[in-house]
Amino acid sequence: MKSLVDMDVRIKMACMAFFSIVVLKAGANGLIALSILCIALWGVARFKAIEIIRHFRMIVLLLAIVFLARAVTVSFFIGAAGRLISLDPKGAVEGAVICWRLVILTFLGIVWMSTTRPSGIRTAVEWFCRPFPGMHGKQVATMMGLVVRFLPVLLERARETSAAQQCRCIQNRRNPVYRTVKFAIPLLCRTLETADQLADAMEARCFRPENSRPLALKPGRSDWLALLGTTVLCALILVS
Amino acid sequence: MTPSGIPIIDVSHLSRRFPDGTLGIDDISFKIEKGEFVVVAGHNGCGKTTLFRHLNGLLAPDSGDVKIDGIPVSADILRARQMVGLVFQDADSQIVGETVYDDVAFGPENLCLDPAEVCRRVTSALIAVGMVHLSDQKPHRLSGGEKRRLAIAGILAMESQVLVLDEPFANLDYSGMLQVLSRITQLNRSGKTIILSTHDLDKTMGHAGRLILMKNGSILRDGRFENIIRDVACAGVKTPCACRMEALYG
């Protein structure tokens, strides 16, 4: 776990980007190789199975929908098999492969989020933005940091707003547009107010984007080796 | 802490009207000495927050001026923001760091201090508010009282001489309120000038030396706490229980 946490964030981000691209192009062999890598990362990161299950619980429904959308064929007319809904074996294999890819991607995302501090991500984004003229890396990085910081606050506010509306029987209104508008507008107004207050609070503490100090990044030998290994593995998967 | 007799804040004929034409504050003048503990009280919308935002240049006045240690805020806003630390009412919307440590370091880093000095200031501020053991904690997991203390630590790390606290006891339970109040009084004893706004004067009785009552954007009364505490109802503020008991039972 420590080795992944201490890894240079830029190199970790590059490795994740390579794997994410390759997983979309990989065939069965490539997916097996990537799955073995995920198991190895699981061992290194020492995740508890319960944590992984908790994270995956969120996407089980999505995976089921993706699989069913590929595997099940719905006919408007009763076909030769005499059924309205039939299972397409080729589609089922395609659906399983897509789900497999999504599982690998999600797992890589969990590894990334569990082993990288938001300040590290911010610094890496700032570094990657540097060569592009007109892209204000510091501002992009600060914005990302604030989004990460404020997500729990915004989610909590959304829960509060929803609970407050349920207390006043919003569920009796069947019109989804009405319900969405009544939920989204107050939430948006509160979010904008919070953004105003945040801007004032940052200004009160002498914030200037150019003054923010990025983390010192220094890739070590193991970081370069990890990048080399990732590049070789990705190239092999793409070629095979 | 006994006031030093030297004014650190000098507000002179300060007025501000909002873009919709509402009067925010109207011709306010007062001086605050180094080491004073001042409570500003008044009904909702009487102009307390607007006044506080002028003290470190977050708002610019329509007329009048604010001097911090003899220098107008408008002449050097950065200096004013270093000297006057403002703790907002909603602690959640001013905590910007991913961890407690990162949030306290935000201000010193903006002052471009070297990392060793940032670390020293952060540690000292966290010790002052009793939160060193929570350095690596995520701010959204803190209790209300801890969040308020974190907001105070963020200001202390900038080594501000004046601490302005906007409703620091709002939405806090009894233990949270005690945590915050004891830190504020300690800071005042260590020489910091404290200005705070509150509706509930019971909490600051016996600690604050001076009370400013505001009504509709103006100063209604300004004087020693014990001299005007019985007249607070005229500013739409609840008379402290102790005063009512005294009036009832003598």
The 10s digit of each residue's pLDDT in B151-167 is: 989 988 988 999 999 98
Q: How many CB atoms lie within 10 A of CB A219?
A: 14
A211 and B78 in contact by Cβ < 8 A?
A: no
A194 and B93 in contact by Cβ < 8 A?
A: yes
A83 near B CB under 8 A:
no
Name B33's Cβ contacts closer than 8 Å, sequence gap at least 6: B3, B4, B5, B6, B7, B8, B193
Lowest mean pLDDT among A128-132, B31-35, B189-193: A128-132
A204 and B106 in contact by Cβ < 8 A?
A: no
**C-alpha dihedral, A137 to A139 to A144 to A146, nearest 10°:** 150
Give whole-number Cα distances, A224 to A8, A94, A218, B91, B180, in Å: 9, 36, 11, 42, 49
pLDDT at B12: 94
**pLDDT classification of A213: cutoffs 50, 70, 90:** low
A153 and B92 in contact by Cβ < 8 A?
A: yes
Q: State the average pLDDT over residues A155-182.
A: 83
Q: Hey, CA dihedral for A135, A139, A141, A145, is it positive or negative?
A: negative
Q: Hey, CA dihedral for A145, A149, A150, A156, is it positive or negative?
A: positive
**pLDDT for B170 beyond 70:** yes
Give whole-number Cα distances, B201 to A103, A203, A224, B211, in Å: 58, 30, 62, 10
Structure confidence by residue, pLDDT tens digits, A170-212: 777 888 888 888 888 888 888 888 888 888 888 888 887 666 6
The residue of chain B with its CA nearest to that of A208 is B110
Point out the residue among A152, A198, A203 whose CB comes nearest to the CB of B58.
A203
Written as one letter, the residue type at A17 is A
On average, the pLDDT of chain B sits at 88
Written as one letter, the residue type at A214 is P
DSSP B240: P
Residue from A200, A182, A190 nearest A157 by CA: A190
Give whole-number Cα distances, A142 to A146, B2, B87, B113, in Å: 6, 42, 22, 19
Residue from A182, A186, A191 nearest A150 by CA: A191
Q: How far apart are CA B84 and CA B67, in angstroms?
A: 11
DSSP B238: P
The residue of A153, A206, A207, A213 whose CB has the most chain B CBs within 10 angstroms, and thus the best one to mutate to test that interface, is A206
**pLDDT for B237 beyond 80:** yes
DSSP A141-188: HHHHHHHHHHHHHHHHHHHHHHHHHHHTTGGG---HHHHHHHHHHHHH
As a 3-state breakdown, chain A gives helix, strand, coil percent values, each rounded to 5, of 80, 0, 20
**pLDDT classification of B189: cutoffs 50, 70, 90:** very high
A147 near B CB under 8 A:
no
DSSP A85: E
On average, the pLDDT of chain A sits at 82
Q: State the average pLDDT over residues B71-86.
A: 90
Structure confidence by residue, pLDDT tens digits, A15-55: 999 999 999 888 888 899 999 988 888 888 777 778 778 77
Q: Measured between CA atoms, how close is B147 to chain A, in angstroms?
A: 13
Q: How far apart are CA B200 and CA B159, in angstroms?
A: 28
Q: How far apart are CA B246 and CA B35, in angstroms?
A: 30
Q: State the average pLDDT over residues B212-227.
A: 92
Structure confidence by residue, pLDDT tens digits, B105-116: 888 888 888 888
**pLDDT for B4 beyond 80:** no
Place of tokens 């030396």: B209
Q: State the average pLDDT over residues B169-198.
A: 88
Written as one letter, the residue type at B146 is E
Residue A49 token pair:
């199975």
Give chain A positions within 8 Å (CB) of B92: 153, 194
pTM strictly above 0.80 = no
Q: How far apart are CA A195 and CA B92, in angstroms?
A: 11
B93 and A201 in contact by Cβ < 8 A?
A: yes
A204 near B CB under 8 A:
yes
Q: What is the CA radius of gyration of chain B?
A: 18
What is the interface pTM, i.e. ipTM, of the complex? 0.74
Give chain B positions within 8 Å (CB) of A204: 56, 58, 81, 85-86, 88, 94
Q: How far apart are CA A185 and CA A177, in angstroms?
A: 12
User: Any bridge partners for residue B87, and if so which?
Assistant: B165
Point out the residue among B90, B97, B111 whose CB comes nearest to the CB of A206.
B111
Give whole-number Cα distances, B21 to B17, B52, B78, B95, B145, in Å: 6, 20, 29, 32, 37
A204 and B139 in contact by Cβ < 8 A?
A: no
